[in-house]
Structure 1
């Protein structure tokens, strides 16, 4: 009986460990941005970079980081003691509470917080603060559990607001803002199974509209370019402009007709064969998914680095 009890306990422990591992693996797929509010920056002064580096380390240790995301990890600093040590040269000793927050920086919803008390010594205040921030262990178990719990709330955000996210993306499509629409849709992590499926279906629709829009725009620009410079050099510029057009675009047949005209002229000019190189791999599903995500990531990375998030009332 004792052996059976031990076996049951061991099995339960195994299930618990497995569940924790699955949760950790799921949350690792959630990307966070790091942010320091201006009110905190004014307190930390020249030590702000050290605090930002620590935030980045914590995020990297827990999975994915992002240059732009509505979900953020931020921190506030509260000095507890400041001592001037009577040594030669004089040094400053700080004891500080660093409170970390995770939440939705767009809606201003705080998901949770955790405080770590650290100490640092330096020849001036900034160096003492920097040394204190460096004492924070980015792999600290409590910190990482805090991140995991916060990311679980992010997963819940996607699951409960899925229809609204897709509706917002549709509105962006109507304004020809396809890149941002794809960013929002492809930001849904695949661990949110139901929402992810809906989002990818909507992303496919947005992507098709984008390639149709881009095809018309780029073809028109290529025609203007060719009309202004109907030479071999102009043909090469046309090729570069049209090479990214997806073969599934509605105007692709028109592209091929135009390319035939250009090729005929190049043949007349110098007797060379000229062909447009097109990425045929985009027709494959995995390549399309990657292309959609790449567009979204590029849009996110192109956002201003000085985004001001809504953290009012978080501390």
Structure 2
């Protein structure tokens, strides 16, 4: 039985993180997080709510920000006010609406509005919900006045990180010092590219990511050893070997631990002496490539950490 330890490329390095999260994370590195927020009590139907959130995400990405990044502090939200609603005289009859669409960018935690934009749009649909969704769909993220407003908000966010980056780094170091590596990396990923402390943050992310990965790999070896100890048979060896398949970019120390276990299993199971319990050594990797891969992998872990946190209560009071 050959146990193969696969080197997983780039964002797929850390075990236990959803594939979709990994795919999104790498492109978010160094990008300001502007989180789309649609209030649940705004009276919008399901279709209009979904359309508005999608539109807010489009506006964020169109202006060089991430709609789902590492920091949940800054938000882009929208308010739809129905100005007119009527039934058309067509067959079949449709719903027609005229709405006012307000777009707001700011600090959702302390309630500070940075910029806003408003426009009116018409929509037609089989229901009022569909009609409002159709009106929201017409909002063009590339509209110059809208981009100007969002750019103003982006500048305010950039200024915030210029002021706070050093404090963020110190807080992240404190979290890492007590073993909270995922939390620390999430804080550091919030510092955007262009900030004077960006490279410092990235270096720390690579350091903490490597330490975190080592701990997780050693835990995998411990799990495998436990499986073997509780069932020192061919079945237990197979279980332990399958657990070892979860190892990712194992260090020399981890490889030695895994090899020791596999040698022990092979020596104990005389009846299956023809089976091969082999841990393939990792190929030497370029230090820079490993660092980049580790940072991108850490992005997946940090994003998963954000999504695992309690829901944030924002304070915007319709600005």
Q: TM-score, normalised by structure 2?
A: 0.75
For the 8 Å contact 1:80–1:96, the answer to whether it is kept is yes
Secondary structure in structure 2 of the residue aligned to 1:296 = helix
Match for 2:192 among 189, 194, 202? Answer: 189
Alignment-derived partner of residue 315 in structure 2: 311
Deviations 1:45-103 (A, max 9, x none): 54211212222332343344326641332211122233444555544332222111223
| Structure whose alpha-carbon radius of gyration is higher | 1
Which segment is superposed worse, 80-89 or 149-158?
80-89
Cα RMSD (Å): 3.4
Do the aligned residues in 2 keep the contact of 1:212 with 1:249 (CA within 8 Å)? no
- The answer to which of 63-72 and 121-130 deviates more is 63-72
Aligned equivalents of 1:187 and 1:279: distance in 2?
32
Q: CA deviation at 1:246?
A: 4.5
Aligned residues: 288
Change (3 A) 1:235 1:110: farther
Given that 1:92 and 1:123 are in contact with CA atoms closer than 8 Å, whether structure 2 keeps it comes out as yes
Matched, 1:135 2:138: yes
- Aligned equivalent of 2:7: none
1:52 corresponding residue in structure 2: 53
Matches within 5 A, 1:114-133: 114-133=117-136
User: Gapped runs of 5+ residues in structure 1?
Assistant: 1-26
Residues 206 and 132 of structure 1: is their aligned pair in 2 closer, same or farther, counting only changes over 3 Å?
same
Q: Deviations over 1:229-269 (max 9, x none)?
A: 33455445434434525444766544443343335446862
Q: Aligned in 2, Cα 1:109/1:278: closer, same or farther, shift over 3 Å?
A: farther
Secondary structure of residue in 2 paired with 1:113:
strand
Identify unmatched segments of 5+ residues in structure 2: 1-28
Judging changes above 3 Å, is the alpha-carbon distance between structure 1 residues 304 and 203 closer, same or farther for their aligned structure 2 residues? closer
Could you tell me the TM-score, scaled by structure 1's length? 0.75
Q: For each residue in 1:2-51, what CA deviation from the matched residue of structure 2 results, as whole angstroms up to 9, or x when unmatched?
A: xxxxxxxxxxxxxxxxxxxxxxxxx99434332211232x2445421121
